[in-house]
Chain A
Amino acid sequence: MPPSTRRTSRILENKVPEITAVFWVIKILATTVGETGADYLAVNAGLGTGLTTGLTCAVLLALLCIQVAMPRYVPAIYWLTVVFVSVVGTQLTDVLTDRMEVSLYYSTAAFAFLLLVAFAVWYAVERTLSIHAVDTTRRELFYWLVVLLTFALGTAAGDLATEALGLGFTLGVLVFSGAIAFIGLLYFANMNGVLAFWLAYVLTRPLGASLGDLLSQSQIYGGLGLGAVNTSLIFLTIILMLVVYLTLARAGRTQRPA
């Protein structure tokens, strides 16, 4: 898709990262950090679910404003926003399930429907769903709305798999990574790239959660027994190193004369 040529678009560069191996690794790890982070604030730090949701929503709004105001893609801000979208997306589902007692069947269906509506409106307005041309504020807002909905859908669908099928995290890692590998194969068999991307994106939510559980859960439940805090610290360290790598790689690229 060609970049938007409207006069109103002052942003010329794609504001979101290209899809690379590093992109998927950070995305999966960010998911886990988001969930354990929210749990830690609510239970261990004793802030409670209400206050935690309020705080994280406020931080997410502030980050979104900064991300949108940036003239170009900045890895640190982009990925910090993804971590907080992950927290808030998870909490949306948790509030519906735990506080409002909405069945996971309904919430999964509802979030899937909302996601389709968001894609339909995005396409109707922009005539493209391309993730390679998120180059206006409006396209950027569509992008983040869809990202938020994929996190909510991924949480609901993942929890539903646990509840309805009794899918533990060990099998979960296998099933969700298998599903992503399958979408990867379909992509090589010429599946629509945008569809493949967003399907894989939804599935990385339950995969990240299962992977986090596998490391953090006690050995009596078949985990590695590292605990939630250590797992989050390990993942956060890897994310930090990768974001530093991305930032340095970018700086090196832009310094070179065109």
Chain B
Amino acid sequence: MARTKLLSVCCIVTTLALPQVALVTAGMSVLSISGVTAAAAAPSKLGDLSSFRAIVVDTAGLVDQGNLPGATLRIKDLETSWDAAEAGLKPRAAADWHVVDKAIDKALTALRAPKPDAIECKKTLSDLLAVMDNPAAR
């Protein structure tokens, strides 16, 4: 009895996974078509990081205006969206992902310091931009 049930679970689990084979195959053909342009736009194996980069540019702009509370508020969007995309991005290039993740941590720490230092914030944000543009360089 118990063995029949275990077998049925195995079947359920395998059935759940099967449509994914089709998805993977479909995904690969799409990738090979758009591969050339994607490679030109994104030197990193992590792929398109432009939505994350845009938040860093915004944040840096706010720091430049002297609006540190605003910058702290804006970089929260980066933390949330970067965290949410972890399972999608990390398998593409785990080493690169960690380099960017560390740089984000440094920028977050600088902006969230009890008395944030504008110069330190600017430095960590420009470092972060450089890392996002070429994570493999670090």
Q: Which residues of A are interface residues toward B (Cβ below 8 A)?
A: 18-21, 24-25, 28, 39, 43-44, 46, 162-164, 166-171, 173-174, 177-178, 180-181, 184-185, 187-188, 207, 209, 211, 213-214, 216-218, 220-223, 227-228
Stretch in B60-68, B81-89, B120-128 touching the partner: B81-89
B94 interface neighbour in A162, A171, A211, A228, Cβ under 8 Å = A162
B24 at the interface (CB under 8 A from A): yes
B12 interface neighbour in A21, A46, A169, A217, Cβ under 8 Å = A21
A218 interface neighbour in B23, B83, B85, Cβ under 8 Å = B85
Bound Cα distance A231, B83 (Å): 16
Q: Which residues of B are interface residues toward A (Cβ below 8 A)?
A: 2-3, 5-10, 12-14, 16-17, 20-21, 23-24, 27, 48, 76, 79-80, 83-85, 87-94
A221 interface neighbour in B21, B76, B88, B93, Cβ under 8 Å = B88
Structural contact, A184 and B7, CB atoms closer than 8 A: yes
Structural contact, A21 and B5, CB atoms closer than 8 A: yes
Structural contact, A18 and B2, CB atoms closer than 8 A: yes
Chain A binding site: helix, strand, loop or mixed by DSSP?
helix
Distance (Å) between the CB of A239 and the closest chain B CB? 16
Distance (Å) between the CB of B59 and the closest chain A CB? 17
Find chain A residues with CB under 8 A from B23 CB: 170, 222
A20 interface neighbour in B2, B16, B76, B83, Cβ under 8 Å = B2
Distance (Å) between the CB of A101 and the closest chain B CB? 10
Find chain B residues with CB under 8 A from A184 CB: 6-7, 9-10
Structural contact, A211 and B16, CB atoms closer than 8 A: yes
Structural contact, B8 and A180, CB atoms closer than 8 A: no
Structural contact, B7 and A44, CB atoms closer than 8 A: no
5 contacts between A and B (CB under 8 A): A43-B80, A166-B92, A166-B94, A188-B3, A188-B7
Structural contact, B8 and A181, CB atoms closer than 8 A: no
Structural contact, B9 and A222, CB atoms closer than 8 A: no
Bound Cα distance A39, B82 (Å): 12
Structural contact, A221 and B9, CB atoms closer than 8 A: no
Distance (Å) between the CB of B61 and the closest chain A CB? 23
A180-B10, A188-B7, A222-B27 are contacts. A217–B85 as well, Cβ < 8 Å? yes
A173 interface neighbour in B17, B80, B92, Cβ under 8 Å = B17
A184-B6, A221-B85, A222-B27 are contacts. A168–B79 as well, Cβ < 8 Å? no
Distance (Å) between the CB of B32 and the closest chain A CB? 15
Structural contact, B9 and A228, CB atoms closer than 8 A: no
Find chain B residues with CB under 8 A from A163 CB: 90, 94
Find chain A residues with CB under 8 A from B80 CB: 43-44
